[in-house]
Amino acid sequence: MSIEVQNISKSYNKIKAVENITFDVNDGELFGLIGPDGAGKTTIFRILTTLLLANEGSATVAGYDVVKEYKAIRNSVGYMPGKFSLYQDLTVEENLEFFATIFGTTIEENYDLIKDIYIQIEPFKTRRAGALSGGMKQKLALCCALIHKPKVLFLDEPTTGVDPVSRKEFWIMLKRLQKKGITILVSTPYMDEASLCDRIALIQKGKILKIDSPENIINNYEKIIYDVQAKNTHGLIHDLKNYLSQYSVYAFGEYIHYIDKKADFNPNDLHDYLENKNHTDIVIKPAVITIEDVFMDL
């Protein structure tokens, strides 16, 4: 077990940030904490990286207790906090050198680990970190977190606010790192990134809703979701919500995701209903279920 969390709870001024959090991360696993802002992801990260003390519960990282053996954890993990904290007025090279020196190593020693990532920013190595684009800052921050070859890597919302191309590249890099045996705990509000993890924990308002692999989560979801579309989207939502047996109606881009309460629901009934409401260009078909759908129903 790389990371073990048991019944962790943490409150700030009587407001519960996280409550009764329990999960494990196996060696070499890519584990995702998926949830929106305010769900408690950063609090969990800070407890595991020994920056905060939990009010209740216990946790170990790489076998060390987060309270009693915090120094050992601080010496050995890689941490990338939100906003990729870098030194804006130091250059790319200087930032990397700094973190290498702090961890008692050099850039050369573990270069093979960061090489794939670093070559993308190497042309800018004399540029100040503050002048880099979001995607490049992200890559630099990742290099700085990896430079000392940590066994466990904590990445708190590394893809937030970054363009889609960089986001995709980042996850490819993570997968490669995973192959080198590093355990990675990532948090993200992007549900589509969830499917790239080995296992995920869905978290909302300080509580874990579900822990499993993305595939299992989708496969185990029992309800049927329908894509519904009509020319007048606004009216469609309104009418669907007024349909007697509706369970949930949510906009999902082009289509509306509709779930019915009845087990023996017949889409044709819905079609008739909508026609009666003078909708045109009606489309009703089974939808591909996503993590987001499951999340919203929890």
80 and 139 Cβ atoms separated by less than 8 Å = no
Q: Taking CA 245 as the corner, what is the angle to CA 242 and CA 250, rounded to the nearest 5 degrees?
A: 60
Q: What is the contact surface with another protein in residues (CB under 8 A)?
A: 35-39, 46, 49-53, 73-77, 79, 81-83, 85-90, 94, 97-99, 101-105, 109, 133-134, 144, 148-150, 160, 163-165, 168, 189, 191-192, 204, 231-235, 237, 250-254, 281, 292, 295-296
Non-local (6+) Cβ contacts of 272 within 8 A are none
117 and 143 Cβ atoms separated by less than 8 Å = yes
CB of 154 to another protein, least distance (A): 8
For another protein, the closer of residues 181 and 253 by Cβ is 253
Return the DSSP state at 254: T
Q: At what angle do helices 134-146 and 92-102 cross, to 10 degrees?
A: 20
CB of 225 to another protein, least distance (A): 14
CB of 16 to another protein, least distance (A): 14
What is the number of other CB atoms lying within 10 angstroms of the CB of residue 250?
16
CB of 283 to another protein, least distance (A): 10
CB of 79 to another protein, least distance (A): 5
Q: How far lies 273's CA from each of 9, 133, 157, 226, 236, in Å?
A: 48, 51, 44, 15, 11
CB of 253 to another protein, least distance (A): 2
For another protein, the closer of residues 138 and 264 by Cβ is 138
For another protein, the closer of residues 1 and 102 by Cβ is 102
- H-helix or E-strand spanning residue 199: strand 199-204
